[in-house]
Amino acid sequence: MKELGRRLPVYLVVDTSGSMAGEKIESVRQGIRALLMDLRGDPTAIETAYMSVITFDSDARQSSLLTDLMLFKEPVLDANGTTALGSALKLLIECMDREVVKSSSSRKGDWKPLIFLMTDGQPTDSWERAAEDLKKSRPANLIACGIGSDADVNLLKKITETVVKMENIQPDAFKAFFKWVSSSIKATSQSVNTQGNAAVNIPPPPPVIQIVP
Amino acid sequence: MSDIVSGAKFKVGFKAMSGQGNFDISCFVLGTNEKILSESYIIFYNQKQSPCGGVILQGPEGGDSETVSIDVGALSPEARKILFAVTLEGQGISTISKGHMRFIEDGQEKARYEFIGSDFIGETALIVCELYLKDVWRLNVVGQGFVGKGLEYLITMYGGEVELPPVPKGLSPTQLITQALRKTGLVQTIIDGTPAGSHLVLGPPVTSGEVKGPVVLQKQLIIEGRGATLWAAKGPVLLLAEDNLVVKNLLVEVTEDNSEIDEACAILVVPGKKVSFENVEVRGTVRGLPGEEGTWNYPKSFQLGLLGCQYDYSFTADIVVPVSCMVSTNVSGLSVEPLQLTAGQSQLLLHVKSGFFFNDTVLYGRIILETPYFRRSIIVCGHAVDAGLHRLVAQKKAKQL
């Protein structure tokens, strides 16, 4: 039954470079765990949202394939190496090409994917072309989050219009961030089912998250 | 020659503008039979001086990219001709947009000849000019191109054996250090402020976990990396120019794929300097350490995808290592063969055994390639599930990665 429904693919693209080591990566780990718990308690999200995690450091990899929430397996997050943002964006485009079902005359495809990108530093590879591809073709609704003071939000603006900033990097701020991700996924799962693709429903972020204009 | 230069000692300067790569100047000293006197009379990047001292490659000077110093008085008495050739590594001469050759005596330019690469489309070597002895030394501007294999072709043509030793080309250590010192950042300032003989800690809280290089070490220090990564998009990233340097617990990484030899270099040790490394991981090449030099070619990660717990899988990958190294993995349930790689191209075999994993197990870890000094790693990830429960398990049981 479920396979016939239109899915809302959700990709979490997570920076696991050396600068994320310690408390930050632990907060992300707990955040993803809490996000799953939360979404698994929401019948509409279980029906609609599919999740994948892409991690990037010196290279990028799809640590969790796009699967439904019940089968989803948390990735191993291990922070070291550099920040290959370009490789991550390229891989994200590849994964969406492969995993997201396009609409055809005989079949309604998946809903437009929802992407949350988190990074705390400067990219160390060339990322410009992949960013331009993403911004131009807009294959997904992408929310980029700059973590801490080293994150370059102006650069993130070149990937997507929707950029938020988390200055505070205490565990509570991460908790609030993932809570917001969860609400966004739940709200979007709800609204696509009633209003279709145009209805991305991102609630206003909590006070620890600032929208970058 | 006497109408160009008055004495026996002069210099020939070359410059070529090329969109891609470096060009090389080689000189061939020929005898009466139009063959080289011996192989030591091929003067090129790996052999910069003729035995008689009459022809010496001097490197960049006075705005020229390469200068050849000539002393016809010192030349072997058997010498009848000196050929000057331009070759471009791996590409045709026509990628040279323009260039010149000029004669300099006592610091003064005496004559200049221009050439443009589009005149030589398809050619890989160009004999620019020859000096020949007919009563006196005379100059003949040749401009003859060859469709062949560059320097190797010319060597064979003039009676030499092609055996270009795999000595690294590119800039000299001194040039690389000068170049790196112009690009250093915050960390170099910290290093410069640290007295010789002391410990220097990188990584939090002193620096970020990702430290942007290059870093040049010109005094005796003990660098404690605490697992931080020292990186640069183009190498060399870490340059060691002093004896008794110690580098510990550091990852040194060239982040972009560079084919150019200097840019692909992660660690450069000035030849002869005694340095030691403990728990240092590298991505990129190493220069200046015997037994560590050469080009590596291996993937950054292996993504095994979704695996059915009840099946055996074997994955193969072609990799190239320049020196022999030990292979191991910290991913349980994954075995890797061979455990020792010899220099050259090899096939790595990854084997996942059926029945090892429970449903829903994440495979994550590294394959480690170890040489006497360094470690290199390939990240492995995958997800084992019960194929009976999971409709997505569809991949082949044997696969080339």
Mutation target among B186, B187, B210, B390 for the A interface, most CBs of A within 10 A: B210
| pLDDT, mean of residues B383-392 | 74
Q: What does the pLDDT read at residue B149?
A: 62
Residue A3 confidence (pLDDT): 47
Contacts of B280 in chain A (CB under 8 A): none
Q: What number is the ipTM of this complex?
A: 0.86
Report pLDDT for A20: 93
Give B376's contacts in chain A (Cβ within 8 Å).
none
Q: Which residues span the domain enclosing B130?
A: 9-157
- The verdict on A110 touching B (C-beta cutoff 8 Å) is no
Question: Does B200 share its domain with B262?
Answer: yes
Question: pLDDT-based confidence at B169, cuts 50/70/90?
Answer: low
Q: What is the mean pLDDT of residues B286-304?
A: 89
Indicate if B149 and B212 belong to the same structural domain. no
pLDDT at B121: 64
Distance (Å, whole) CA A28 – CA B175 = 44
Percentage of residues of chain A with pLDDT beyond 70: 97
Contact at CB, A73 and B362, closer than 8 angstroms: yes
C-alpha to C-alpha distance for B111 and B102, rounded to whole angstroms = 5
Of residues B378 and B290, more confidence is placed in: B378
Chain B residues with a Cβ under 8 Å from any Cβ in chain A: 203-204, 208-210, 227-229, 231, 233, 251, 253, 255-256, 283, 300-301, 303, 305-306, 360, 362, 364, 379, 381, 383, 385, 390, 392
Question: What's the mean per-residue pLDDT of chain B?
Answer: 86
> With an 8 Å Cβ cutoff, is A64 touching chain B?
yes
Q: Residue B52 falls within a domain, yes or no?
A: yes
Rounded percentage of chain B residues whose pLDDT exceeds 70: 90
Q: pLDDT tier at B94 (50, 70, 90 boundaries)?
A: low
- C-alpha B204: how far from its chain's center? 32
Residues above pLDDT 90, as percent of chain B: 45
d(CA A191, CA A45): 11
| Per-residue confidence band for A128, with pLDDT thresholds at 50, 70 and 90 | very high
Shared domain check, B197 and B151: no
pLDDT at site B185: 83
Supply B254's token pair: 């060239």
Both tokens of A78, joined, read 């291990």
Q: How many helices (H) and strands (E) does chain B have?
A: 3, 29
Residue A198 has pLDDT above 80, yes or no: no
Is the same domain home to B280 and B310?
no
Q: Would the CB atoms of B301 and A19 count as touching at under 8 Å?
A: no
Q: Which pLDDT does position B391 carry in this prediction?
A: 61
Q: For a pLDDT cut of 90, what percent of chain A falls above it?
A: 66
Give residue A73's pLDDT band: very low, low, confident or very high (50, 70, 90): confident
Q: Does one domain contain both B141 and B15?
A: yes
Q: Which residue among A71, A82, A150 places its CB closest to the CB of B253?
A: A82
> Where do the domains of chain A lie, and which CATH numbers do they carry?
2-212 (3.40.50.410)
Contacts of B209 in chain A (CB under 8 A): 17-21, 79-80
What pLDDT, on the 0 to 100 scale, is given for residue A2? 43
Domain boundary among B237, B255, B287: B287
Residue B340 forms part of a structural domain: yes
Residue A20's closest chain B neighbor by CA? B209
Q: Is the pLDDT at B92 greater than 70, yes or no?
A: no
Q: Do the domain assignments include residue B294?
A: no
Looking at the structure, do residues B152 and B181 belong to the same domain, yes or no?
A: no
CB atoms within 10 A of CB B293: 16
Sorted by sequence, the CB contacts under 8 Å of residue B298 that are 6+ apart come out as B317, B319, B320, B321, B369, B376, B378
Our count of domains for chain B comes to 3
Indicate if B98 and B198 belong to the same structural domain.
no
pLDDT single digits (tens) B315-331 = 999 999 999 999 999 99
CATH number at residue B45: 2.60.60.30
In a domain, B91, yes or no: yes
pLDDT value of position B361: 85
The DSSP-derived string for B114-160 is EE-GGGGTT-SEEEEEEEEEESEEEEEEEEEEESS-THHHHHHHTT-
The whole-number average pLDDT for the span A46-66 is 93
CATH number at residue B361: 2.60.40.10
CA distance A136 to chain B (A): 25
Question: Is the dihedral angle over the CA atoms B307, B313, B317, B322 positive or is it negative?
Answer: positive
Identify whether residues B24 and B152 lie together within a single domain: yes
Q: Is residue B145 part of a domain?
A: yes
pTM beyond 0.90: the answer is: no
pLDDT at A1 over 50: no
pLDDT at position B11 over 90? yes
Q: What does the pLDDT read at residue B399?
A: 74
Residue B161: per-residue pLDDT: 76
- Per-residue pLDDT tens for A4-26? 578 999 999 999 999 999 899 99
**Domain identity same for B17 and B80:** yes
CA dihedral B134, B137, B138, B141 (to 10 degrees): 120
Average of pLDDT values for B395-400?
68
Sheet of B136-146, strand order: B42-43, B23-30, B81-88, B125-134, B136-146
Answer yes or no: is B166 within a domain: no
Q: Of B231, B362, B379, which is closest to A82 when you measure between CB atoms?
A: B231
B209 and B328 assigned to the same domain: no
B148 and B22 belong to one structural domain: yes
Return the number of CB contacts < 8 Å for A and B. Answer: 84
**Domain-located, residue B167:** no
* Range in A157-171, B122-136, B313-327 with the lowest mean pLDDT: B122-136
Q: Which of B100, B133, B157 is the last residue of a domain?
A: B157
Domain termination residue (choose one: B157, B187, B217): B157
State whether B23 and B125 are in the same domain. yes
> In sequence order, what E strands does A49-197 have?
49-56, 60-68, 114-119, 141-147, 162-166
Cβ contacts of B210 on chain A, cutoff 8 Å = 17-19, 81-83, 121, 124
- Tell me whether residue B380 is in a domain: yes
Mean pLDDT of A133-150: 88
Closest residue of A to B258, CA-based? A125
Quote helix, strand, coil % in chain A, to nearest 5. 40, 20, 40
Cis peptide before A113 (omega within 30 of 0): no
pLDDT confidence of residue B394: 57
Residue carrying the six token digits 């030394």: B137
